[in-house]
């Protein structure tokens, strides 16, 4: 029975998309890591609580298939501020977040970091 659970989780990991714009913050990558940790021995991994494992799988499938998004459709695809889904994806991209962090730094701190960087040794 553990083998079939393992195969189901593997299939889910294969189907789950990886967002390259969210480096180290992507749910698909996180899911793959957790499945690898939980099933260290592959199909031979003993499962201490099969019901909890099945429940976790079903919850992840509902997230993956947008079950609740389809069950409770929204009237508009924007938030109360008027920001669209695509705008949110752009804002949450890792590169944009890094740029925002750099802007939060004061001018003095940015200059200090820029000029205190170690220069490569010459000849």
7: confidence class by pLDDT, cuts 50, 70, 90:
very high
- Residues 88 and 117 both lie in one domain: yes
User: Which tens digits make up the pLDDT trace of 70-113?
Assistant: 999 888 777 777 778 777 777 777 666 677 666 666 777 767 77
Widest pairwise Cα distance in the chain: 66
- Residues 40 and 60 both lie in one domain: yes
- Residues 57 and 104 both lie in one domain: no
Residue 123 and residue 116: Cα distance in Å, rounded?
A: 21
- Residues 65 and 79 both lie in one domain: no
Residue among 6, 33, 36 nearest 18 (CA): 33
- Residues 61 and 81 both lie in one domain: no
- Residues 67 and 18 both lie in one domain: yes
Total domains, the chain: 2
- Residue 96 contacts residue 90 (beta carbons within 8 Å): yes
- Residues 53 and 83 both lie in one domain: no
* Domain limits for position 116: 75-122
- Residues 11 and 64 both lie in one domain: yes
- Residues 56 and 69 both lie in one domain: yes
Identify the weakest region by mean pLDDT among 10-14, 15-19, 87-91, 97-101: 97-101
Rounded to two decimals, what is the model's pTM?
Answer: 0.63
- Residues 47 and 83 both lie in one domain: no
Cα torsion at 72, 78, 83, 89 (round to 10°)?
50
Q: Give mean pLDDT, residues 12-33.
A: 84
- Residues 68 and 88 both lie in one domain: no
């Amino acid at each position: 029975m553990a083998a079939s659970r393992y195969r189901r989780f593997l299939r889910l990991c294969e189907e789950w998309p990886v967002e390259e714009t969210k480096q180290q913050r992507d749910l698909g990558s996180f899911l793959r890591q957790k499945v690898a940790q939980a099933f260290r021995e592959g199909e031979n991994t003993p499962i201490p609580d099969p019901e909890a494992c099945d429940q976790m799988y079903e919850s992840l499938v509902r997230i993956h298939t947008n079950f609740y998004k389809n069950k409770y459709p929204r009237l508009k695809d924007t938030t109360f501020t008027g920001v669209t889904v695509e705008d949110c994806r752009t804002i949450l991209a890792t590169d944009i977040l890094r740029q925002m962090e750099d802007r939060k730094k004061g001018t003095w701190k940015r200059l200090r970091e820029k000029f205190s960087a170690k220069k490569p040794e010459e000849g």
